[in-house]
Structure 1
Amino acid sequence: MKRADIARLTALERKALMEELAAMVAIGELNLGDASRILRGTMLGMDRKTFARVVKLSTSVIAKLEDEPDANPTLETLNKVFAPFGGKIALTFPRLEAPHPPDDAEKQRREMLRSALARSKRQRRRSTPP
Structure 2
Amino acid sequence: MDAPVNREDIARMRPLERKALLDEIVAMLMAGELRIGDAARILRSAVLGLDRQAFAQVVKLSERAIAKLEDDPHANPTLETLKRVFAPFGGTVTLMFPQVEDTESLGEDRRQRRAVILDALAKNRRRIRGNPKR
Instruction: Report the TM-score range of the alignment, normalised by the length of the smaller protein.
Output: over 0.9
Q: Which one-letter code corresponds to 1:12 in the other structure?
A: L
Tell me the equivalent position of 1:59.
63
TM-score by length of 1: 0.93
* Post-superposition offset of 1:5: 1.6
- Say if 2:118 is the partner of 1:114: yes
Q: For structure 1, list consecutive stretches of 5 or more residues without a partner in the other structure.
A: none
1:33 aligns with 2:37: yes
Instruction: Indicate the residue corresponding to 2:16 in structure 1.
Output: 12
The corresponding residue for 1:50 is 54
Instruction: Check if 1:84 corresponds to 2:94.
Output: no
CA–CA distance in structure 2, aligned partners of residues 15 and 52 of structure 1: 24
- Structure 1 residue 99 and structure 2 residue 116: aligned? no
Residues in 2 aligned to 1:110 and 1:8: alpha-carbon distance in whole angstroms? 19
Q: Secondary structure at the match of 2:33?
A: coil
Shift of 1:99: 2.1
Instruction: Kindly provide the CA deviation profile for residues 24-65 of structure 1, in whole angstroms up to 9, marking residues without a partner as x.
Output: 001111010000000000000000000000000000000000
Deviations 1:77-123 (A, max 9, x none): 0010000000011101233xx42521112112111211110111011
TM-score under structure 2 length normalisation: 0.90
The alignment of Structure 1 onto Structure 2 pairs a total of residues equal to 127
C-alpha separation between the residues in 2 aligned to 1:83 and 1:20?
A: 17
Gaps of 5+ in 2: none
Cα RMSD for the two superposed structures: 1.2
SS in 1 for 2:42: helix
Find the residue that maps to 1:128 and give its secondary structure: coil
Higher relative contact order (CA 8 A, sep 6+): 2
For residue 91 of structure 2, give the secondary structure of its aligned residue in structure 1. coil
